[in-house]
Amino acid sequence: METTDRVQNILMVGVGGQGVILASEIISEVMMRAGHDVKKSEVHGMAQRGGSVSSHVRFGPKVYSPLIKKGDADVLFSFELLESVRYLDFLRSDALIIVNNQKVLPPSVTLGVDSYPARLPEIMRERFSRVEIVDALDIAKQAGNVRALNVAFLGAFSRHFAVDENLWKEVISSMLTPKLVDVNIKAFMLGREKMNS
């Protein structure tokens, strides 16, 4: 996706504790350093205790609203399968969906009251033409640390934007504790390359 003069709307979703917020911080910082106006919004507090989490990231020449209007997201960047489907209302009809192939069971499912919905990738593909399913956990494992999952997944995201690779690396390095930088940069690059193959 070429970055145009129109504001780009990235909706990031997942489950509390998956690293959605850190990934959204990195994207925002990268886009600011790439010369864009940036706004992002999410909620903290009670909502984060293992609940459904969303972060709105918007960048372009001038951004007013910190929230994406329903039906206006260009990219759904989803860390969990069920959560992606929960937010489909937010997408433009030509939106790109990048989804991590992971299931985190909601409480009613772990209790055995509900079952985890089937055919989620198909449901997305029936409605949207561009759906990329990424096994971010596998990439993070290859990089040597499962906790680098969010940065590995960010690698897959990054190839859709005309931003210098070094800028991504620079920001990731500046936002993580020094001892985690190497493994995360490795995970980022693996994620970025994976999408090219």
Partner 1 sequence: MKVILSGNEAIARGAYEAGVAVATAYPGTPSTEILENMATYEGVYAEWSPNEKVALEVATGAAIGGRRALAAMKHVGVNVAADPLFTVSYTGIKGGLVIVTADDPEMHSSQNEQDNRNYAKFAKVPMLEPADSQEAKDYIKLAFELSERFDTPVFVRTTTRISHSKSIVELSEPKQRPATSALEKQPDKYVMVPAHARRRHPLVEQRIKDLEAFAEEFPENRVELQDLSVGIIASGTCYQYAREAFPGYSFLKLGMVYPLPKKKIKEFARQVKKLYAFEELDPFFEEQVKALGIEIIGKEVFPSCGEFDPGTAEQGISGAAGVEKKGAALPYLPPRPPTMCPGCPHRGLFYVLNKMNVFVAGDIGCYTLACLPPLKAVDTCICMGASIGHAMGLDKALGSEAHGRVVAVIGDSTFLHSGITGLLDVAYNRGACTVIILDNWTTAMTGRQDHPGTGMTIREEKTTKVDYVKLVKALGIKHVKKVDPFDLKKLNKVLNKELNRPEPSVIITDSPCVLYRRVEKGAQRPLLYVESSECIGCKACLQLGCPALEWVTLPVKESAALKKKRGEAFVNPTLCTGCELCSQLCKKGAIRKKDGDN
From candidates 11, 18, 23, 83, binder to partner 1 by CB under 8 A:
83
From candidates 4, 110, 129, 174, binder to partner 1 by CB under 8 A:
110
* Least gap, CB of 96 to partner 1 (angstroms): 14
Evaluate whether 109 touches 36 at the Cβ level (below 8 Å): no
Distances (CA, A) of 124 to 20, 106, 142, 149, 159: 21, 20, 27, 22, 21
> How do beta strands 8-15 and 52-60 pair?
antiparallel
Number of H helices, E strands in the chain: 8, 6
125 near partner 1 (CB under 8 A): no
Within 8 A by CB and 6+ apart from 123, the residues are 85
Q: Give the three-class secondary structure for 4.
A: coil
Residues numbered 20-79 forming contacts with partner 1, rule: CB under 8 A: 25, 28-29, 32, 37-52, 63-72
Q: Which CB sits closer to partner 1, 72 or 135? A: 72
86 near partner 1 (CB under 8 A): yes
* Least gap, CB of 66 to partner 1 (angstroms): 4
Where on the chain is the footprint of partner 1 (CB under 8 A)?
15-16, 25, 28-29, 32, 37-52, 63-72, 82-83, 85-86, 88-89, 91, 93, 105-112, 114-119, 123, 126-127
